[in-house]
Amino acid sequence: MTLVVIPQAFATNFEDPFHKMNYHEHIYHTNAQTATLGMAKALARSQSPVLVLANHALHTLLVAGFWATANPLTNPDAQIDSFAVFNPWNGTAWGQYITTGPYQRVSLNDWLNADNLPTPFGGLTTFLKLPYKSNGILDPDPSIGLYQTGPGTLNPDKHHWIGNFVIIQPDWHMESADFAFDENDQLMLQP
């Protein structure tokens, strides 16, 4: 079992056992724009929220929906305007993260380019501008399981999460939450 993302997929499936879809991590090896479009399509397809590892994966946000000119599943010219973002962080007790409340409507521009929104510890909120990043000994790539990567593993020169965009989204796949899917919704059998 890995330590960061997969437990979130397991927990989401556990908390909603009657949901018709399963949650899995989807690893986008592309860029923030492609990951964001994939997230919007997952939201439109499932009508269920997604979990986004934002701010270099220093934080997880729940994205419940989006505003757009059309459905991105059926119209390739659809323009996304903004997202309905819920922040699980207790801003009253721990300091401001994205707003002082639990909800914020985040424009597409801020989602992709923001670098001046407050965080409680003096850092910067970048939403999905930057990919997953290890924080020293915290949040490394998996060292056990199918996707093990990094020094001392079967795949020492590869990365699973680090350098990629990670979104936990609902899908129709029946595999365990141990498995990840790529930006093309294909089962990943290696990092």
Q: Residue range 64-79: average pLDDT? A: 96
Tally of CA atoms within 13 A in the half-sphere of 157 that contains its CB: 0
Give residue 135's pLDDT.
76
C-alpha–C-alpha distance, residues 148 and 14, integer Å: 24
| Residue 89 pLDDT exceeds 80 | no
Cα–chain center distance at 167: 3
Residues 108-127 have pLDDT tens digits of 998 998 766 666 666 667 78
pTM for this entry: 0.87
Give residue 99's pLDDT.
66
Is 39 strand, coil or helix?
helix
Domain segments of the chain as ranges: 6-182
Give residue 83's pLDDT.
94
Measuring CA to CA, which residue among 25, 3, 74 is closest to residue 188? Answer: 25
Give residue 100's pLDDT.
62
Residues 121-163 have pLDDT tens digits of 666 677 888 899 887 777 888 888 889 998 889 899 999 999 9
Measuring CA to CA, which residue among 170, 167, 185 is closest to residue 45? Answer: 170
